[in-house]
Structure 1
Amino acid sequence: MRHERLTALLELLGERGQMGVEEAAGELGVSAATVRRDMDTLAEQQLLTRTRGGAVLSSVAYDLPIRYKGSQRAPEKRQIAQAASALVPRGSVVGLSGGTTTTEIARTLASRPDLAEPGPNPHLTVVTNALNIANELAVRPQIKIVLTGGVAQPRSFELVGPYSDLVLREVTMDIAFIGVNGLDPKVGATVHDEREARVNRLMAERATRPVVVSDSSKLGLRAFAAIGTCDLFDTLITDEGADEEIRREFAERGLRIITAPVPD
């Protein structure tokens, strides 16, 4: 699929900084003409800069936009979402930060039969700063959506800024699922953008049970902006690819660990 090919091309550029058309064609197993068209498409979106015979990664493309990240480690994210959904009783108020893992959690909650049953009142309230999550859930009449205000981030579809803070300070949540770009035992949870980090931290603080969700590829990594140390969270949900040693380190810092199995 073209979507997956564009993601793969961006990932290759992320690793190497620049690539020629022929080199990229060989790596992706497609024709040079196809790579040229893909590079032109990504250049139009300002994710790369075309050069003579190839492309270089755009200086602003430090993180793939969310629309290109959904296919990465998809089985792990689906299983994490199933484990997260199991923690949510009907009638709960649930916080969801932006991100592909939390988007999968939203989809899993939306597909639960007990939350789709007709009734005079909503069966679930979701508080989110993610435009894409609100868009997906808005068509579900039995799920009440509370969308924070703020300034939209075009890469992550998240709303940030003081308007988001104002809304979050006026609500409480039973449980909040916070997605991350990195989770380190010492530094804690981190993301690429400091404005998103602030909103994520406040969402975690306003929840009775704040849960950090992260596939195993992000464990031990650190991104630019700190959300908070491990003591900000009650629980970590990850997949079975997580190294036992790093899981032990998180447990020693007080996190309950839920390991979601990945299907064969």
Structure 2
Amino acid sequence: MNRAERLSAVLDLLAEDGQVEVDQVVERLGVSPATARRDLDALAQQQLLTRTRGGAVAHSVAYDLPIRYKHQQNPDAKAAIARAASDLVPRGGIIGLCGGTTATAIADALMSRADIMEPAPDPGLTVVTNAINIAMQLAMRPQIKTVVTGGIVHARSYELVGSYTDGVLGNISLDLAFIGVNGLDAVVGPTSHDEREAAVNALMASRAARAVIVADASKLDRRAFAAIGAPLFDTLITDGGATEDQRVRFREAGYEVIVAS
């Protein structure tokens, strides 16, 4: 476990009870007391916790995601996709994240990056999102500049939709946009169950220099109700569950296919 992964694990421990002791970190992560103290000090410097004698307590911020995001389907595949997506993001970049469990996993991966989380005068990353759960996560990281689109909350997905969202997205430029989908067909392109989410996703993709579909293999060769817009995207990140035939067909459809492992 590297340092960035340890710091993320310490925050997970903190989320369980709102406080953590050095001895707990030593026992759960298998590190020395000196390492545990240094990690707690580093997180305190990033304003992610408050140090106490012998441990730390959480700030008055909700660390837990909503329940449906903690019991997602295909978590290993989505974690692999998230790591591959993170590899495309440069420090200091400006990215867009839609809602959904895969985008949430990408946010987790980005928050574990030591180069992004290093304290500096300028943001290590700027994230524009219409997902309130992702915004809540990122708000705990002062090194990440978080821009929330505004709009009407969609209760099922925690995504903001509507004309207020369109107004913000229409006035920004992104280096990368990562868009999750409910289905991806080589002919029809990416689709969503909800036409309002599809419209926001399409606009976010159109504002990016590079628009990336993130979809685990279970979403491939499926169609949902609302089209997002195939011409907007040039890259697909999926997982090893995608068959060779699927990979070939999506490459022939014009996508650069990245298979995460």
Question: Normalising TM by the smaller chain, what interval?
Answer: 0.7 to 0.9
Distance 1:118 1:210, change over 3 A: same
> Which residue of the partner structure matches residue 120 of structure 1?
121
Q: Is the 8 A contact 1:66 1:155 kept in 2?
A: no
In structure 2, distance between residues paired with 1:68 and 1:198: 23
Q: Name the CA distance, whole Å, in 2 between partners of 1:225 and 1:66.
A: 26
- Match of 1:257, SS state, is strand
Aligned partner of 2:112 in structure 1 is 111
Q: Contact conserved, 1:66 with 1:99, CA < 8 A, in 2?
A: no
What percentage of aligned pairs have identical amino acids?
62
Residues 216-248 of structure 1 show CA distances to partners (whole Å, capped at 9, x for unaligned) of 00100001111012x320100000110111111
Question: 5+ unaligned residues in a row in structure 2: which ranges?
Answer: 1-65
* Unpaired stretches in structure 1, ≥5 consecutive residues: 1-64
Q: Distance in 1 between matches of 2:204 and 2:148?
A: 12
2:196 aligns with 195
Amino acid at match of 1:255: Y
Contact kept, 8 Å, 2:166 with 2:203, in 1: the verdict is: yes
| 2:141 maps to 1:140 | yes
For 1:66 and 1:196, locate their aligned partners in 2 and report how far apart those are by CA, in whole Å.
Answer: 21
Q: Name the structure 1 match of 2:177.
A: 176
How high is the TM-score relative to the length of structure 1? 0.73
Q: Give the TM-score, by structure 2 length.
A: 0.73
1:198 CA drift (Å): 0.1
Secondary structure of the equivalent of 2:164? helix
Tell me which stretches of 4 or more aligned residues in structure 1 moved more than 3 Å. none
How many residue pairs match? The answer is 196
Q: CA deviation at 1:71?
A: 2.6
Query: Partners of 1:228 and 1:237 in 2: how far apart?
Result: 17
The answer on whether the counterparts of 1:70 and 1:100 sit within 8 Å (CA) in structure 2 is no
| Correspondence 1:233 to 2:233 | yes
CA distance 1:162–1:143, shift in 2 (3 Å): same
SS of the counterpart of 2:146?
A: strand
User: What do residues 56-88 of structure 1 show as CA deviations (whole Å, max 9, x unaligned)?
Assistant: xxxxxxxxx981674310000000000000000
> What's the CA shift for 1:119?
1.0
**Cα-Cα RMSD:** 1.3
**What does residue 97 of structure 2 align with?**
96
Equivalent residue, structure 1, for 2:222: 221
CA distance in 2, matches of 1:138, 1:222: 34
